[in-house]
Amino acid sequence: MTVTLQVKQPGGGVYGTVTFDTGSFKFPRLAGSPITTDVDGGYDIVSFVTFDNTYLNGVYQNDFDIIIP
């Protein structure tokens, strides 16, 4: 199973955080806990894959910006 999420920050200088239950979600050892983008309207992409339904292995990529045409 694979799951991909988009985590979008609201505008107005108020930034949220994301916390993952380490019993259910695993990230690369050197990555530590994911840090969210701190830009108005910015967004992050987090993708998970599981091979045995024990936990979700995740990769978190941040600092995407909203492009306004």
Q: Which residues of the chain have pLDDT under 50?
A: none
Distance from C-alpha of 3 to C-alpha of 47, rounded to nearest angstrom: 6
**Burial, 65: exposed, middle or buried (Cβ in 10 Å; 0-12, 13-18, 19+)?**
exposed
pTM of the model: 0.75
What's the pLDDT at 39? 82
pLDDT of residue 17: 77
- What residue spans define the domains of the chain? 2-64
Q: What is the pLDDT of residue 68?
A: 56
